Amino acid sequence: MVNKHLLIAWVASIIAMVGSLFFSERMGFIPCTLCWYQRILMYPLVIFLGIAFYSNDRIIYKYILPLSVIGMFVSSYHYALQKIPSMHEFSACTSGVPCSGQYINWFGFVTIPFLALIAFTFITIMMLMLWKRK
């Protein structure tokens, strides 16, 4: 039986990874420090969720939830740095590309950290649903 929660979470992680690679490799956007941290948290999810989906591992949430919740916090902090001017003094980016920079700003609020936050939140919800069904 195909576990739809695992499949949806895996597809979300793949879309997030491909999206981040598209922005950096195709569009030429240089990732800031916090972008790298988000990638470090997202990329393993593609592998772990893929393996869990194919092996129908229903307890993978124990390993995915810490990564996705930490990813939500990092993405939220990064998004706040971009959208709240008074947060700029609390930036973790001290060299290179500033974390407050916005390569994209669709509809006035959709930035790259916002997209990452949506992906991490979606994966977290899927893992909580998997946990609940256990």
Residue 110: left (phi > 0), alpha (psi -120 to 50), or beta? beta
Across the range 67-77, mean pLDDT stands at 97
Q: Which CATH architecture has domain 4-133?
A: Up-down Bundle (1.20)
Mean pLDDT (the chain, rounded): 91
Domain boundaries, the chain: 4-133
What's the rounded Cα separation, in Å, for the pair 10 and 132? 18
What does pTM read for this prediction? Answer: 0.92
pLDDT at position 1: 47
Neighbour count for residue 129 (Cβ, 10 Å) = 15
- Residue 101's nearest CA partner among 91, 21, 7 is 91
Residue type, position 23, single letter: F
